[in-house]
Structure 1
Amino acid sequence: MRRGNGRESHVLHDIGTRLKERRVAAGMSLREMAREADVSPSFLSQIENGKSQPSVATLFSFASILGVKIDELFDDAAGGASAPEVPVMEVGDGQERDPARIWNNSAYTNRISLIHPSHRAQIAVAHGVHWERLAATPETSCNFMKLVYEPGSTSTEGGETVVHDGYEYGYILSGEFEVTIGNEVFVLREGESIGFDCSIPHVFRNIGDVPVEGIWFIHGTHINGTPGHRPTA
């Protein structure tokens, strides 16, 4: 079994802390939320205390129950470090100015998200699945992420399919990614992409010997992580 490093332990604790904060703010007891999410109270307690990892489907379920975006459970500070400062050219010196500075001085400051690679909010979920948020905006129906699946990892506990509102779009950077949608099974490799209606039962799996990395965009009004009811091929 792959051992979690210090960074993963921090992320697990952060997810649990944020989950508990939002549960309490919503006025829900631990038992009530566990019942709605179809998990045991002890398991939810372990998640909130950073001792257990929720599956992707369970995270979606929690977010839906609490009425929040999935990335609101991410570690915004990525370990508490502040973003590195970058040099900024003066206007009129004939050289390109740093994009971050240009945006910060613009009328669009609150509508633009710029994230340095070392400061991306992350979630490490069960089965060796990692998410990195690539942009944070007020748009509650969108999630723009980099996915990393370790060899043999799947998107859900036991490989069951899930359904939810919206659409998903993905682009594979490396590895071999098996995507099951309904009764169709696709194997995606570097440079290949896919888009699909999330109301169709689906599940992902890394079938290769190296990590799968991909860029993923999920667009939908409410992501609820409801288990799929139709068997996959």
Structure 2
Amino acid sequence: MTSPVSPQNAGDATAVNLGLQLRTARQKSGMTLRELARQLGVSPSFLSQIENGKSQPSVATLYSMAQTLDVSIDHLFEGEEPAGTEDSAEPQPDAEVPAAPHRAAGDASGPVRRSDLGSLERVWDDSGSTGRLSVTSPGNRTRLVMDTGVVWEQLATNTAHQLDFIEIVYPPGSSSTNDERMLRHDGFEYGYLLEGELEVTFGFETFTLHAGEALGLNSSVPHLFRNLGTVPARGIWFVHHDH
């Protein structure tokens, strides 16, 4: 008689499969465990626990790993278990243990580092991504709060993974990243600024976007937004993801 699968067992199976997928992706890239840990700024023992299914990465760490290994999030969550041999370091007692991953980054328990997040693709909960109609209302939308104070709010839930329709708010003095590092990711961004002003750095060009003005940019070019004013900058953004 087959034993029922408990939520805990299901979660363990997901962690093990995710770890196997990550290990295989790393091995295919030719990157050692220590090299990947160095690029991500974490300990090798932490990555070892993830690859062995003993720990689950936070959403920010998972996105950073996927970007570094040049693999899609879809592929990492496929049910097929890849072949691979364990070559990771032994976990240490003081290894970092992150929060369990979740598909709805807006439900995160704390602010998210924008520079760790990369693209918006697969950030939001995709439970309604195939619906024919999406209606959202203030106070009931998924919100993603950055460590810089910048807020993204999801305006439509049925855009699948090709497009994001969001409201952005940059408080006075805020920037896309805390360390002023410019961002780049696949796809295109289209924005219309409703209130305030944003300083936009796009490649080697810097200009000010005023309320009532709109822009479209290739997100693969390094870019950065900053609110140098004294009032919040609020706009409506469309982000189209390249696959």
TM-score higher than 0.5: yes
Alpha-carbon contact 1:167-1:198 (below 8 Å) kept: yes
Matched, 1:154 2:212: no
2-side partners of 1:121 and 1:36: how far apart? 33
1:170 alignment partner, SS class = strand
Selected match of 1:127 from 120, 132, 148: 148
Change (3 A) 1:147 1:47: farther
Q: How many residues align?
A: 163
1:171 alignment partner, SS class = strand
Alpha-carbon contact 1:69-1:141 (below 8 Å) kept: no
Match of 1:118 in 2: 139
Match of 1:59 in 2: 117
Change (3 A) 1:25 1:185: farther
Match of 1:71 in 2: 124
1:28 corresponds to which letter in structure 2?
Answer: G
Match of 1:226 in 2: none
Selected match of 1:188 from 209, 231, 239: 209
Change (3 A) 1:28 1:129: farther
Change (3 A) 1:112 1:51: closer
Match of 1:38 in 2: 40
Structure 1 residue runs without a partner (length 5+): 1-19, 77-108, 223-233
Match of 1:164 in 2: 185
**How much does 1:138 deviate?**
4.8
Match of 1:24 in 2: 15
RMSD: 3.5
2:131 alignment partner, SS class = helix
**How much does 1:208 deviate?**
0.5
Q: Percent identity?
A: 35
Matched, 1:201 2:203: no
1-side partners of 2:223 and 2:111: how far apart? 21
Change (3 A) 1:145 1:47: farther
TM-score normalised by structure 2 residue count: 0.57
Structure 2 residue runs without a partner (length 5+): 1-10, 27-35, 47-57, 62-95, 101-107
1:71 corresponds to which letter in structure 2?
Answer: W
Which stretch shifts more, 211-220 or 43-52? Answer: 43-52
Change (3 A) 1:26 1:37: farther
Choose between structure 1 and 2 for higher RCO, CA contacts under 8 A separated by at least 6 residues. Answer: 1
Match of 1:212 in 2: 233
**How much does 1:36 deviate?**
8.9
**Stretches (4+) displaced over 2 A:** 23-26, 31-37, 39-54
Per residue, is there more helix in 1 or in 2?
Answer: 1
